[in-house]
Every structure is written in structure tokens, then in C-alpha cells.
Amino acid sequence: MKYLVTGASGQLGSEWLRYFRENQIPFTGYNSAQFDITDKYSAEQIIDEDKPDVVINCAAYTKVDQAESEPDKAFLVNETGVKNLAEACSKRGINLIHYSTDYVFSGAKKDRERYPDGYPEDAPSDPINIYGKSKRAGEIVLENSSANWLLIRVSWLCGASGSNFVKTMLMLSEARDRIDVVSDQTGSPSFTFDVVEKTIQLMQKELTGIFHVSSRGEISWADFAREIFELSGKTTDVQNISSSEFPVAAKRPSFSLLSNQKIISAGLKPADRREALKRLLQQIKLS
């Protein structure tokens, strides 16, 4: 099997490249400048040259707040780009793996009451910001395509490469004794190494469709920050604040927990959040 990875310089793309190198698996990886998924003809040319068995799409527009002021860019990458890949893969009989987000859900109070263990894969989507809407548009393109696809939703993604909440908290702790963190938004982090491992397991089982991959249990951003500091030996104090005290351009879901029941039913074991966080902190320390 040969793999082609788009968005290879991002958090998840970098994790895939690390996995392939460590396991000596044939692959080609392209950052967004090298492989522009919004350019249909260029995408087809690269795929024809590489002849992969599987395309792993890690390319995405992920600037949640900036998307509010440039929706065309968000939809171009997250919808049109996915359409281009789906059509190219469908024509050539290539399997396509794509990643989406918890932000396709609204996080409404009624949803928390209806799905106390997290949103299942078939829950109605109702994104409340442009980023979420653009990612849902990409999902719909994939669902309506004739490609052989596997779509994995992740939440609060964090890994050793790129920018994420864990690395931001560690950086801020070097300069501050106290950090204000929102406590009224809850979910569960997805760790890049676990997402890659789960994706491989789902592929080995030849499963298709939509799956959620996140760690076990529900936690707030503020409590997650406390775990980060506890496990990294930091003494930084975390002060709870509400979302209204931390204004941002894009509204965030107050509840974005993803259910792990479907991967459990498929025979996969969800990551333990604290153990996964320990592993990530060690990776960051060594990087």
C-alpha cells in the first residue's frame, strides 16, 4: 500500500509522516503550497504521478475566528478542495480518508440533554460558525460522492507539531503565574497519535463511513488546562472565566463531546485522556 498525505505540515499531517517513517511505509507527503487541493487539475496531476492506493486528506482551513471574515477561503478549502479529491479518487478507485470536526454540531443545551455521552455520528449537524459550516459542507460533498471514503471527526486536536491548546498553555505558563481559561465549554481532546492509530485500525477492518475519535470522558477547557499543568509539573494557577469574558469572532459550541460508542462497537478502545496527555507531553519535551 502506498499513501499520499495532503496538509503534511499541519498537526495531523506531521503525525502521519512520523508514523509512516517509523514503520517504513511508502508514502508521499505534501504541504498546502506543494499540493493545493483547491486546484482540481493540479490535484489530479499529482495523484496520477504518485499513484497512491490511499489519499489521506489533512489539508484544511482551520482558522476558526478568521473564517468569520473570509468565508470564501474557508469554503474553498473545506468544501471545494474535498470535492476535488473525492472526484479524483472516485475516478481512479483510490480510497479517501478525510477529517472533520466537532464544530459541525451546535452544542445546544437540548443536545447535551439528548446526548449526555456525546454526539453520535448520526446526530443532526447544526454548525454555529463559518468554520463549522464549511467543514460540514465538505462532509456533505463526501457523503454524496461515489468515492470509497472514511470520514473521521476529531475534537480539540492536539499533537507534538503545530499549534494547539496544550502547547499554548505550556508556553503561557513560562511567562505567567495565573491564566484565565473558559470553564463553560466542554468536550474531550483528540490526540494526533491516537487519531492516526485509530485510522489505521479502521482501515485494517475495511470500515467506511463516519467515525468519531476522541479521548474518554468530558472535561472543560479550564480543567484540561489544570491537567496539563499538573502532569507537566507546572504551578501555574488556572482561573475559571465564562465565554462572555473571552470574546472571540466565532461562537464556539458550549458542548462538543463526541461519542466513542461506534469505535467501541468496532472493537477499538478509546484513549484514556490523562495517559494520552502524558504521552503527548513527553513527545513535546523531546521535540
Structure letter (DSSP) for residue 162: S
Q: Is residue 159 part of a domain?
A: yes
CA-nearest of 159, 168, 157, 140 to 258 is: 157
Kindly give the interhelix angle for 165-173 and 273-286, rounded to the nearest 10 degrees.
60
CATH of the domain at 61: 3.40.50.720
Please report the pLDDT score of residue 163 as a whole number. 93
Give the model's confidence band at 287: pLDDT under 50 very low, under 70 low, under 90 confident, else very high. confident
What total number of domains does the chain contain?
1
pTM over 0.95: yes
Cell numbers at residue 271, please? 484513549
Active site residue ranges: 131
Give the model's confidence band at 286: pLDDT under 50 very low, under 70 low, under 90 confident, else very high. confident
Q: Is residue 243 part of a domain?
A: no
Q: Is residue 221 part of a domain?
A: no
CA distance 211 to 146: 18
pLDDT tens readout for residues 199-257: 999 999 999 999 999 999 999 999 999 999 999 999 999 999 999 999 999 999 999 99
Q: Is residue 232 part of a domain?
A: no
Q: Is residue 147 part of a domain?
A: yes
For residue 115, the enclosing domain spans 3-164+189-216+257-274
Q: Is residue 234 part of a domain?
A: no
Distances (CA, A) of 51 to 43, 131, 200: 12, 31, 20
CA distance 194 to 198: 6
Question: Whose grid coordinates read 488546562?
Answer: 225
Q: Is residue 226 part of a domain?
A: no
Three-class SS of residue 4? Answer: strand
